[in-house]
Amino acid sequence: MEDGRIAIPSMGTGGLDGERSGHFGHCDVFTFVDVEGGEVKQVRPQIRPVVEDLIAGKLQIIGDDQVCGGGGGGH
């Protein structure tokens, strides 16, 4: 990715050293990674919004371009 924002569902406090969540809708935080010119410019964990039936499209509300995730199926 040359430019954009990536949302990574993460456990605990998130960040680049954090553990990626195994289930998209049950993560503790989203780690947002801003990329400019192919380089990481900013890393910002944000508490997951409480949204019923959380899906990737809902993250557009908080400004992502790409989503990195694990399972997102039923419970």
The secondary element (H helix, E strand) that includes residue 59 is none
Q: What is the mean pLDDT of residues 48-73?
A: 56
Question: Starting from the edge strand earliest in sequence, which strands make up the sheet with 66-67, in order?
Answer: 39-47, 29-36, 4-10, 66-67
**Alpha-carbon torsion (44, 45, 47, 49), positive or negative:** positive
Distance CA 70, CA 18 (A): 14
The pLDDT tens digits for 5-39 are 888 889 999 999 999 988 777 788 889 899 999 99
Q: What is the pTM of this model?
A: 0.70
Distance CA 30, CA 16 (A): 11
Report which of residues 31 and 51 the model is more confident about.
31
